[in-house]
Structure 1
Amino acid sequence: MAVKEKKKGSQKKETGASGKKLRIKLVRSLVGRPRKQREVVRGLGLRRINSEVMRRDCPEVRGMVDKVSHLVNVEELDKK
């Protein structure tokens, strides 16, 4: 009986092949916003006003930013 080799780690597709990053900053309050919008902001890693995070430029992150574009500022950066 042959022994199969186990894969070490997962092979992730490189969606951000361009190497671009997004700087996302929360500029509006979450008070009074729908629960879904608060969850999206939290999913991006933002906690309070003026907090910033760096995320890779991929369709998933772009979709999240589009949902809360009225609450955040986004700046595209080239990876250096």
Structure 2
Amino acid sequence: MADNETPVAAGMVRVTQVGSPIGRHASQRATLIGLGLNKMHRSRDLEDTPSVRGMIAKVAHLVTAQRAD
């Protein structure tokens, strides 16, 4: 593992932005920012909590989510 990589713990989900927020409601753009996403094809490893799952569901058409390994 490289020095700049963080270990991925159990209970993590990898969220990748696959859609553009252009032309979307401001709340959807804010949700992407809340997930730590702001550019296409960027990924974040987030803790798998009910609040994160709700955010993913709100912008499911703009992101893909998978269990982080």
TM-score normalised by structure 1 residue count? 0.72
* Greater shift in the superposed pair: 38-47 or 69-78: 69-78
Q: Secondary structure at the match of 1:75?
A: strand
Work out which of the two has the higher radius of gyration on C-alpha atoms and give 1 or 2: 1
Alpha-carbon RMSD: 0.9
Q: Which amino acid in 1 is paired with 2:67?
A: E
Long gaps (5+) in structure 2: 1-9
Q: Which amino acid in 1 is paired with 2:24?
A: R
Partner of 2:54: 63
TM-score normalised by structure 2 residue count? 0.82
Task: Trace 1:45-56 onto structure 2 (pairs within 5 A).
Answer: 45-56=36-47
Partner of 1:26: 17
How many residue pairs were aligned? Answer: 60
